[in-house]
Amino acid sequence: MLLKPSGAGSRLCPGKPSSFRKQSSLQSRRRNLKTQSLTPWYNKRGDNHPQHNQFFSSPFAGTMNIQDYFTRISYKGPSENLDLEMLTAILQHQIRAVPFENLSIHCGDTIELELEQVYDKIVRRKRGGWCLENNQLLSWALKTLGYNLTLLGAKVFSPENNAYADENNHLLLNVVQDGKSYIVDAGFGTVYQMWEPMELISGKDQPQTPGIFRFLEEKGTWYLEKSKRKVYIPNHSDAKPDPLQASDCRKIYAFTLEPREIEDFRAQCAYLQTSPNSVFVTKSICTLQTTDGIRALIGWKYTEIKFNFKQNMDLVETTILPDEEIEKTLKVKFNITLDKKLQPVNAGGRSSMF
* CATH code where residue 241 lies: 3.30.2140.20
Q: What is the pLDDT of residue 41?
A: 39
Positions marked catalytic:
131, 170, 185
Work out how many domains the chain is built from and give that number.
1
353 domain-assigned: no
84 domain-assigned: yes
56 domain-assigned: no
Bond from prior residue into 14 cis (ω within 30 degrees of 0) = yes
The full 3-state SS of the chain, as one line of letters, equals CCCCECCCCCCCCCCCCCCCCCCCCCCCCCCCCCCCCECCCCCCCCCCCHHHHHHHCCCCCCCECHHHHHHHCCCCCCCCCCCHHHHHHHHHHHHHHCCEECCCHHHCCCCCCCHHHHHHHHHHCCCCECHHHHHHHHHHHHHHHCCEEEEEEEEEEECCCCEEECCCCEEEEEEEECCEEEEECCCCCHHHCCCCCEECCECCCEEECCEEEEEEEECCEEEEEEECCEEECCCCCCCECCCCCCCCEEEEEEECCCCECHHHHHHHHHHHCCCCCCHHHHECEEEEECCCEEEEEECCEEEEEEEEEECCEEEEEEEECCHHHHHHHHHHHHCCCCCCCCCCCECCCCCCCC
What amino acid occupies position 168?
Answer: N
295 domain-assigned: yes
Backbone φ, ψ for residue 286 (5° rounding): -145, 115
18 domain-assigned: no
Q: What is the pLDDT along the chain (354 residues), one digit of tens a residue?
A: 434 334 334 444 655 444 443 333 333 433 444 333 444 433 333 333 333 333 333 454 458 999 999 999 999 999 999 999 999 999 999 999 999 999 999 999 999 999 999 999 999 999 999 999 999 999 999 999 999 999 999 999 999 889 999 999 999 999 999 999 999 999 999 999 999 999 999 999 999 999 999 999 999 999 999 998 899 999 765 445 444 444 689 999 999 999 999 999 999 999 999 999 999 999 999 999 999 999 999 999 999 999 999 988 999 999 999 999 999 999 999 999 999 999 999 996 555 555
Q: Which domain holds residue 143?
A: 61-334
Q: Which residues neighbour 96 within 8 Å (Cβ) at sequence distance 6 or greater?
A: 73, 288, 289, 290, 291
CB 222, CB 254: distance < 8 Å:
yes
260 - beta bridge partners?
Answer: 151
28 domain-assigned: no
- Separation of alpha carbons 154 and 251, rounded Å: 12
6 domain-assigned: no
47 domain-assigned: no
Tell whether pTM > 0.75: yes
Q: What is the pLDDT of residue 311?
A: 86
- Separation of alpha carbons 113 and 90, rounded Å: 22
